[in-house]
Amino acid sequence: MISVCVPVFNSHIDDLVKALHYQKVKLKYQVEILVIDDASGEEYRLHNRELSKYIDNYIELDKNIGRSRIRNLFAKYASGQYLLFIDSDSVVDSSDFLRDYFHVLKLNEGKVVVGGSAYSGVKPEKSKMLRWEYGRKVESRPASIRNKDTYRSFITKNVLIPLKVFDKVRFDETLTGYGHEDTLMGYRLKKAGAGILHIDNYVINRELDTNEEFLTKSREAVESLFTILNIVNGAPDFIDDVKLLIWVRKLYKMKLVEPVKGVLNIFNPFIEYALRNGVSSLFLFSLFKLHHALEICAGTKAEKYFRN
């Protein structure tokens, strides 16, 4: 059995849940749909309760517990041998979405299977261009590319994990901020020797953050990344899997941290202004993240991981 796990926070899930239910009814395989609401606003909870006839188990939490803890909680309620995590802002585009996962499992039993994500080809308004551009060019890669570096390409937006494997790695509940919980899980899967297979069985990202929202989340994600760096004690093979950390390490080894920080301190306000106002340059976005990473790293114990 596959337990489809949909964590929800302040999101309407009509299209996703109905599409999953329709496919479940068609299949001869066993599927259950589980939804856990992480203390959403009352308007969202009232709305999503109306979908209970499409859901096998709908649970509402009184207190928000965060992205990692809520995903771990699904293992308590799931009846299946496989957990299929799907973010609530996703849309299932293929009418054979669930069936394709079952077909892959026939030849790849026990493997972690990453379906991938995609973004609409229609340009959004200027206020959401950065998230759209990043999603299309960085996140939405075909399986043929992702399979060249299976662990580095690991994301949890649309992933099937054997329960036995999940029990070994779990999401790290000390991570309470936004971002990179999937980076850490990918690293732990690698250390555990779990096999990962990437396939083209996409979900479509339905909702786009505004430029301002995405920049705020990206700052938080950089901070989470350094929290994780401390969790893994600065493991060089973890740094090797994260482009941003690779660049920080290069700058420390070349003794260019202070000069680069000085330049970025001057230009970062202009970079942020451009990104907030619809300039969707991924080069500028990389500089924005690098600036924040160098600011976080300076004078902290994280520096020792890059000086060695």
Tokens encoding 206:
């339905």
Q: Hey, what CATH topology would domain 2-207 get?
A: Spore Coat Polysaccharide Biosynthesis Protein SpsA; Chain A (3.90.550)
What is the pLDDT, as a whole number, of residue 308? Answer: 65
**Residue 177 pLDDT exceeds 80:** no
Instruction: Indicate the burial class of 28 (C-beta count within 10 angstroms; 0-12, 13-18, 19 or more).
Output: exposed
Kindly tell me if the per-residue pLDDT of 293 is higher than 90: yes
Backbone angles phi, psi at 176, to 5 degrees: -105, -15
> Is 80 exceeded by the pLDDT of residue 51?
yes
Q: For position 131, what pLDDT does the model report?
A: 94
Which region, left, alpha or beta, applies to residue 218 given φ > 0 means left and ψ of -120 to 50 means alpha?
Answer: alpha
Question: Rounded mean pLDDT of the chain?
Answer: 92
Q: Classify strands 196-198 and 112-114 as parallel, antiparallel or unpaired.
A: parallel
pLDDT above 90 covers what percent of the chain?
Answer: 73
- What is the pTM assigned to this prediction? 0.91
Q: Structural domain boundaries of the chain?
A: 2-207, 213-307
pLDDT tens per residue across span 266-292: 999 999 999 999 999 999 999 999 999
Separation of alpha carbons 209 and 222, rounded Å: 17
pLDDT digits (tens, 9 = 90+) for 12-34: 999 999 999 999 998 877 999 99
Segment 194-243, tens digit of pLDDT = 999 999 999 998 889 999 999 999 999 999 999 999 899 989 999 998 99
For residue 83, count CB atoms less than 10 angstroms from its CB and return exposed for 0-12, middle for 13-18, buried for 19 or more: buried
Residue 121, CB half-sphere, CA atoms under 13 Å: how many? Answer: 0
